[in-house]
Amino acid sequence: MSRILRRHEFVADDWVSLGDTPPGDTESVIVPFATFRENREAWLARRGRLGVRLAPADRVEDLAPDLPRLSLVAVEFTGPGEGRGYTTARLLRQRYHFTGEIRAVGHVKQDQLYLMHRCGIDAFELAPTEKPEEALATLTRFKVAYTPGAPLPGLVRERFRTQREA
């Protein structure tokens, strides 16, 4: 079982990604969005927890009606320059008020964790080459930020505020 950096701790992953064999009815499973849409009712009727994986081009609006019944959304990053996931995460948290886990999957490297976290991603499935301690350290590297974002320990000041805070 792989390990996940979740809320500043490395924990054993208690989720499985949908593979060739169907998951057990009580298993916590992450399903690609396209697969989920093909059989939405069946997936939602399972007893186990359900997560959906959004590819970069998937529209978060299309998943919005089902968010209250999901425990996890996995946001996929397909390469070092792929940036759509940052907006996806931000909209999940800020516009749709999703409170479950948002997990970065795919090309997830230490150099992007800070920005991902600030957009509301709170769990990271790190690429296999990543060094866990270095990755963790990046989340406490920044003491200040200009724009508002998800809180981080050690981040003590932001310059700007959102409309809601103002």
Residue with tokens 């940036």: 83
Nearer to another protein, 20 or 146 (CB): 146
Distance CA 90, CA 56 (A): 13
Binding mask 82-121 for another protein (x = CB under 8 A): xxx-xx--x---xx-------------x-xx-xxx-xx--
Q: Which helix (H) or strand (E) holds 101?
A: strand 101-106
Compute the Cα dihedral for 57, 75, 152, 125 and give only its sign: negative
- Least Å distance, CB 142 to another protein, is 5
CB of 111 to another protein, least distance (A): 6
- Residue 118 gets the label, from left (phi > 0), alpha (psi -120 to 50) or beta, of alpha
Contact status, residue 110 vs residue 140, Cβ threshold 8 Å: no
x/- map, 28-67, another protein, by CB under 8 A? ----------------------------x-----------
Residues that bind another protein (CB under 8 A): 56, 80-84, 86-87, 90, 94-95, 109, 111-112, 114-116, 118-119, 141-149, 157, 159-166
